[in-house]
Amino acid sequence: MYHFRSLIMQKVTKEHIEKLTDYLWEIPTSFRKDMLVPARILASEQILDDIIEDRSLNQLVNVATLPGIRKASLVMPDVHEGYGFPIGGVAATSYPDGAISPGGIGYDINCGVRLLTSSLKMKDIKEDLEALGKELYAKIPSGMGKGGQIRVFSEQMDEVLHRGAEWGVKQGYGHKDDLAYIESKGRLAWADPSCVSQMAKNRGTDQLGTIGSGNHFVEVDVVEEIYDNESAKAYGLHKNQIVVMIHTGSRGLGHQVATDYIRIMINAMQKYGIKLPDRELACVPFNSEEGQNYFKAMCAAANYAWCNRQIISWEVRNAWETLFGKEKGQLRLMYDVAHNIAKVEDHVINGKNERVIVHRKGATRAFGPNFEELPDAYIAVGQPVIIPGSMGTCSYVLAGTTKSYDITFGSCCHGAGRRLSRTAAKKQVNAPVLKEQLRERGIFIEAGSFKGIAEEAPIAYKDVNSVVDTVNISGIAKKVAKIKPLVVVKG
């Protein structure tokens, strides 16, 4: 495939991009001979100009060569460079023989976000923010490689992998009612613990109920603005309300599953005659033995992540009760979304219903109204989508729309999106100074390391407002509420 090589080196520039609408751009298949479908970018012109120098658009083009890819390779406005596939990417492949690729899901399988709502208002906790930060930091284990008190071995681990959040609830870490408010009810039924290596299980033994490091956090926020009264009411959100956001994934266990299967797939690819422009896109047919084993292991790791966020919610609820008492200490689960996962879903392509394997990497599901999985209270307004911004800025709650099915296979962005690498951020940011500046603005950070603060500084991220405006105006999700951080707990 030598004649492809020079083409593969060709960088995407603005001249290669066609404008479809003010917020949708396309790199046509004529750009490179190995593209099977066009590559599409959901972005304002400003965001497009900001990412044009990035390697992520070339990664987007590479994804368009994935065997069995349907309709288009897509990126959301929070796109940035990732392992093989860009982060902020969506790729749907045909079921059952299209590709499944661990790089299209990410190392942190079922990294995701959940939001808990409280009955407290800003005035109730104004004086308690620092104490709350210390209490949460004490109750929730955080940091690189950190474990917690809970241990799960052999049969119990298999049950966690099998049952996800349901296992947590059964053990007393939460209410039965929580489950209805989790994407896929916190459990993917295809999970098979026997497809998860012993090494992965060992790494997961003591990491349930822990947040990890990097961009993972537990955050207390106040609802600053409501944009859509009907949806906000359905979700139980109102102005000045205190809420809690949890962002983490499957920790070492999911990372090991990804590592194990990327290695397996790199070796198995030749057998299936798959050639790709970048070995980081390693994939096999979904219905091959390796593909099925990965999918079952990925589902198991996703279940582990849901169980993890369930147990962290229990830890948060304990801290809440300690500070505010039983009556005022209630926290309700608003919703929990995955943003690194693959799902088998039915979508309409060229007017025909098709079953596809939707890879979402740094992208969330954003299904609209009348989706039967949704809890009764949400069915008329659509699935909640939770978009964490950076530490010192703000975050959003959105509602999925029917229009997202047409444009993005029912998907939306997952955050602000990085604009500086971790290394670049560390060079530019003085973490102790930043911590003090945020404190002066009423934001209390409890972090295990200054390194973590520097890497996650607001300057390291795109403007979440313009990212959210893009998805809102293009119609793939609707703005419901803006929330502002008060307390941040990090690794």
Partner DNA sequence: ATGTTC
**Closer Cβ to DNA, 206 or 228, answer by number:** 206
Residue 251 CB, nearest distance to DNA (Å)?
5
Token duo for residue 372: 């039967």
Residue 404 CB, nearest distance to DNA (Å)?
24
Token duo for residue 188: 């993917």
**Closer Cβ to DNA, 251 or 479, answer by number:** 251
Beta 477-490 vs 284-285: how paired, if at all? Answer: unpaired
Residue 414 annotated to the active site: yes
Is 183 in a helix, a strand, or coil? helix
Residue 455 CB, nearest distance to DNA (Å)?
7
Report the C-alpha gap between 300 and 482 in whole angstroms.
Answer: 33
Angle among Cα 473, 245, 227 to the nearest 5 degrees reads: 30
Residue 426 phi/psi, 5-degree rounding, is -60, -35
**Sign of torsion, CA 146 334 337 445?**
negative
Give the number of other Cβ atoms within 10 Å of residue 448's Cβ: 17
Report the C-alpha gap between 411 and 429 in whole angstroms.
Answer: 33
Residue 215 CB, nearest distance to DNA (Å)?
3
**Closer Cβ to DNA, 374 or 438, answer by number:** 438
Residue 447 CB, nearest distance to DNA (Å)?
12
Beta 444-447 vs 477-490: how paired, if at all? Answer: parallel
Contact criterion met (CB below 8 Å) for 302 and 186: no
Angle among Cα 8, 79, 102 to the nearest 5 degrees reads: 70
**Closer Cβ to DNA, 126 or 263, answer by number:** 263
From the list 33, 40, 104, the residue with the least C-alpha distance to 294 is 104
Report the C-alpha gap between 231 and 238 in whole angstroms.
Answer: 10
Q: Residue 57: is it exposed, middle or buried by C-beta count within 10 angstroms (0-12/13-18/19+)?
A: buried
**Closer Cβ to DNA, 203 or 309, answer by number:** 203
Residue 111 CB, nearest distance to DNA (Å)?
6
Residue 82 CB, nearest distance to DNA (Å)?
9
The residue type of 379 is I
Q: Which residues of this chain interact with DNA, rule CB under 7 A?
A: 83, 107-108, 111, 144-145, 199, 202-203, 207, 212-216, 248-249, 251-252, 255-256, 455-456, 491
Token duo for residue 141: 């284990």
**Closer Cβ to DNA, 148 or 285, answer by number:** 148
Contact criterion met (CB below 8 Å) for 107 and 282: no
**Closer Cβ to DNA, 389 or 491, answer by number:** 491
Residue among 216, 247, 359, 414 flagged as catalytic: 414
Residue 262 CB, nearest distance to DNA (Å)?
8
* Helices 129-139 and 289-328, axial angle in degrees (round to 10): 140
**Closer Cβ to DNA, 93 or 256, answer by number:** 256
Catalytic residues, by residue number, are 414
